[in-house]
């Protein structure tokens, strides 16, 4: 149950404010709610089945120390990309379809979410929590699927309200905090497996790694602030 709740919370936070959540807001003005729910839920099930299958397979054949290290770097990267922003990301193109609204919605959501940080999170979580036990993959799959469905359901029903009423950037900051926490925790676990839990070497390297991550994120925030300041000056000029 702890695995299920941890995965659910992580995926839910990761998906909040994501581009596919905003895609559902746009779909609400074109399609029936029943069509949107059917298409997105089918896409969610397929995406998570693929992600958890890959993660569970990796968890069965790779050294747990490597898995924990990979999870730490992955979560740190997700946190960094969140705090850096997605300004350079290209807008998703609308998928044209000839087979009815459900198939079109399925393809739009599937392509938009494929390879996204939410799906990569599902792969990482499956690899970390299956621990050479495929039965735990069921908990990961259920947590990933329910977390994604809940987040996108909110995006469908009250996405516009959330965007207009919540403080600017609050979702990104919360997402960053979650990913950074799991990244630091995974790094500590990995170093504990390598050098011994609580050993001087593991704690020193953990402190250095965490400090380096904080420094890189601080630099990213500083650079983003400079870019925004320059753009503001150009607009005024």
Domain ranges of the chain: 2-236
Over the stretch 158-171, which tens digit does the pLDDT of each residue have?
A: 654 655 565 656 76
Over the stretch 56-104, which tens digit does the pLDDT of each residue have?
A: 666 556 566 776 787 788 778 878 877 776 544 443 344 444 556 788 7
For the entire predicted model, the pTM comes to: 0.59
Over the stretch 173-190, which tens digit does the pLDDT of each residue have?
A: 776 887 788 889 889 988
- Compare 34 and 67 and report the one with higher pLDDT: 34
Over the stretch 185-205, which tens digit does the pLDDT of each residue have?
A: 889 988 998 999 889 999 999
Range 124-148 average pLDDT: 78
Q: How many residues appear in the chain?
A: 237
Q: Which residues contact 20 (CB under 8 A, 6 or more apart)?
A: 109, 112, 113, 116, 118, 152, 155
- Mark 44-53 as b/e (b = at least 16 C-beta within 10 Å): beebbeebbe
């Amino acid at each position: 149950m702890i695995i299920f709740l941890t995965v659910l919370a992580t995926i839910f936070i990761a998906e909040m404010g994501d581009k596919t959540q905003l895609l559902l807001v746009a779909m609400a003005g074109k399609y029936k709610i029943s069509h949107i729910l059917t298409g997105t839920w089918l896409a969610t099930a397929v995406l998570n089945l693929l992600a958890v299958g890959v993660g569970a397979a990796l968890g069965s054949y790779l050294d747990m120390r490597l898995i924990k290290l990979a999870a730490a770097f992955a979560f740190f990267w997700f946190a960094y990309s969140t705090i850096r922003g997605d300004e350079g990301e290209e807008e998703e193109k609308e998928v044209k379809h000839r087979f009815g609204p459900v198939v079109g919605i399925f393809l739009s959501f599937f392509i938009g979410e494929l390879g996204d940080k939410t799906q990569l999170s599902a792969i990482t979580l499956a690899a970390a929590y299956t621990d050479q036990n495929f039965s735990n993959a069921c908990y990961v799959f259920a947590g990933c699927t329910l977390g994604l469905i809940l987040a996108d359901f909110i995006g469908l029903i009250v996405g516009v309200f959330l965007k207009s009423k919540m403080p600017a950037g609050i979702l990104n900051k919360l997402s960053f905090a979650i990913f950074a926490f799991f990244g630091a925790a995974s790094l500590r676990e990995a170093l504990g497996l390598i050098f011994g839990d609580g050993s001087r070497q593991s704690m020193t390297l953990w402190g250095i790694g965490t400090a380096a991550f904080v420094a890189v994120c601080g630099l990213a925030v500083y650079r983003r602030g400079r870019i925004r300041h320059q753009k503001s000056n150009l607009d005024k000029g």
